[in-house]
Amino acid sequence: MTFVVFVVTFGLAFVCASLVEYIGHRLMHRGVLLAEAHRRHHADGRAKGVVWEFLHYVCGTLPLLPWGFFLGWAVGWGWLSAGVVYAFFSAYGHQLQHDRPEACFWMLGPPIHALHHLHDQQHCNFGLAVDWWDHLFGTWDPAGSEALPPRRPSWRGLISVGWLSSR
């Protein structure tokens, strides 16, 4: 039973983390959250590198990570581990879409964060690692996707990203 609780909690926390990422990015564009830093990010069009993005995301969500332990060990570890795993996935997805958008194979449509930057889209395509919420909330816009390189997922493309800095 404990393993099932862990797995279910992990899944729910992973989805919640993706929603927090989406909302956070929307708030950045509204000037409510880290507005100046985000403006600089759009101005230079670069990510910091997977490791630095990951540390930034984990530090930002640190206050949320231990709360699951109030509901038990299995819930706590499921919540905490999903938060950390999603922070890494988001940091990696963000960097991949800056460095090699053609390798981002898991999204249904074009890699939306790459589009978000390519066309300086301020009102759409907010997902970094997943595009679920953009589809659900009507902020998905594939316009301009023909300017992206065609998808060519490969192992080399997946690991050839800026791990410590942008490429």
Whole-structure pTM value: 0.92
Q: Give me the amino acid identity at 14.
A: F
**Residue 87 in 3-state DSSP?**
helix
For residue 69, give Cα distances in angstroms to 42, 63, 64: 37, 13, 11
pLDDT for res 6: 98
With 90 as the cut, is the pLDDT of residue 94 above it?
Answer: yes
Q: What is d(CA 103, CA 84) in angstroms, rounded to the nearest whole number?
A: 23
Average pLDDT, the chain: 91
What mean pLDDT do residues 87-95 have?
A: 96
Sorting pLDDT into bands at 50, 70 and 90, what band is 34?
confident
CB-based contacts of 82-85 (< 8 A; 24+ apart in sequence):
82/9, 82/10, 82/11, 82/12, 82/13, 82/14, 82/17, 83/13, 83/17, 83/58, 84/58, 85/10, 85/14
Asked whether 104 and 94 are in contact (CB, 8 A), the reply is no
What mean pLDDT do residues 4-18 have?
A: 97
DSSP 150: P
Say what percent of the chain tops pLDDT 70.
Answer: 99
pLDDT for res 167: 65
Sorting pLDDT into bands at 50, 70 and 90, what band is 33?
confident
Q: Which two tokens stand for residue 94?
A: 């963000």
